[in-house]
Amino acid sequence: MKILILSNRVPFPQNGGYPIVVRNTIQGLVDQGHQVSVFTLNNKKQRPAIQNDDDLISKIHYKAYDINIKLSVWDIFLNMLGKKNYNIDRFYDVGFERLLTTELKRTKYDIIQFEGLFMSAYLAAVRKYTNAKLIYRAHNIEHLIWQRLSEQKNDPIKKSYLRLLAKRIKQFELKYLNSFDAIAALTNQDKQLMLKYATKIPIHVLPVGVDLKRYNPDYLKTEFPSLFFLGALDWMPNREGMEWFLDNFSRDIIDGDLRVKLYVAGHNIPEDFDEYESLNKIFIQGEVDDALEFVNSKSVMIVPLLSGGGMRVKIVEGMAMQKCIITTTLGAEGLNYKDGHNILIADNRSEFYNAIKHCINDEQFCRQIGKNARLLIEQEHDTHFITKRFIAFYTEILQS
């Protein structure tokens, strides 16, 4: 098959959930012998991180188009007063559309996959120049993230703005759900919500897949006990969750009953997080050189997600690294987990406190949770298995 993947973020390197999902999809399809093209927007903010020496790039037809998606204060103001949806519109660029249509006139594709809602801005142009089957990859229900964020806010102005944003994104999202030929959702929860919204086209649940060869845990290099968080803190649900966690537990860690070190790592950590740092207790590390090496070096992963949606790729990676993970019910969404067996679910302060206390006092308990977590990933999230399901899905849609 000839497959074109449209991405709103460069998937090289794998420094976040979105690029991990997209790159693993590309790799799986290439490994199965399919011809893959990737046309991606290249956000100026992320441009320095692009890993052009990734061997996979030489195996695909690859185009990256520079774009600035940063919203100004004026854009935000206009977003509040007007009817335009700047959070979506900032991903549209006439130059990229021209590049895309030129490619479609030149090459006949079987499948064109839109990675996330933001690439829907190019749907009309793509439809005009191709007879390929168009697949929408729903990484999450986008408006639900903003709706849940608004519910967490006490500030009436922030709450109102986030509600307005959620409403406009929802209108855009629902408008496009039936405009594709099929949808690939990461979780069954997202599929059920789309069905509730009267989606008529086929929806298949195809979860996050990871290449298990990359995940090699080594307990000899693991500090026990230790807590850690790894994620992009410019993504609002991550920032909100970690601010909640640090506000609630920093005193317990610094001079209370939780005798454990906490490490916070990830790219784009806001400067005000430095205020949480405490000598030999809480470490705000920023972006690490090797994410998997960092994960391996710590024992208990915390993911205090209070809003958001879809499947958390960092949790899948943590489970693949045999980590004992403490997260919320929302954080574990989409996983076929069993609380207390392959993950620990904590939805409030007392549940988080008790889970942390149990973990730091029982190393064998942590290891067993981690071993069970790895087994779940081997059974349900091996990228080779997920790729075969994707190909079967494409074949079914092409024959329909």
Q: What is the pLDDT of residues 45-72, one digit of tens each?
A: 555 455 555 789 999 999 999 998 775 5
Indicate the range of 3-7, 149-153, 327-331 predicted with least confidence. Answer: 149-153
- pLDDT tier, 201 (very low <50, low <70, confident <90, very high otherwise): very high
Whether the per-residue pLDDT at 79 is higher than 60: the answer is no
Tell the CATH superfamily of the 2-209+382-399 domain: Glycogen Phosphorylase B; (3.40.50.2000)
**Mean pLDDT on 113-120:** 95
Average pLDDT, the chain: 91
Architecture of domain 213-380: 3-Layer(aba) Sandwich (3.40)
Whether the per-residue pLDDT at 86 is higher than 90: the answer is no
Q: Supply 245's token pair.
A: 């966690």
Cα angle: 37, vertex 40, 43; to 5 degrees? 165
Q: Which residue has the tokens 């790219």?
A: 267
Q: How many Cα atoms are found within 13 Å in the side-chain-facing hemisphere of 149? A: 23
pLDDT on residue 75: 55
CA 137 to centroid of chain Cα atoms: 12
pLDDT on residue 5: 98
Indicate the range of 149-153, 271-275, 371-375, 385-389 predicted with least confidence. Answer: 149-153
CB 228 within 8 A of CB 262: yes
The percentage of the chain sitting over the pLDDT mark of 70, rounded to a whole number, equals 94
Listed in order, the ranges of the chain carrying CATH 3.40.50.2000 are 2-209+382-399, 213-380
The whole-model pTM stands at: 0.90
The 10 Å Cβ neighbour count of residue 249 is 22
Q: Which of 143-157, 265-279, 360-374 has the highest mean pLDDT?
A: 360-374
Whether the per-residue pLDDT at 29 is higher than 80: the answer is yes
Whether the per-residue pLDDT at 360 is higher than 80: the answer is yes
Buried b (16+ CB within 10 A) or exposed e, 214-224: ebebeeeebee
pLDDT on residue 369: 98
Whether the per-residue pLDDT at 81 is higher than 60: the answer is no
pLDDT on residue 48: 45
pLDDT on residue 203: 97
What are the pLDDT digits (tens) for 230-275? Answer: 998 988 899 999 999 999 999 999 999 999 999 999 988 999 999 9
- pLDDT tier, 44 (very low <50, low <70, confident <90, very high otherwise): low
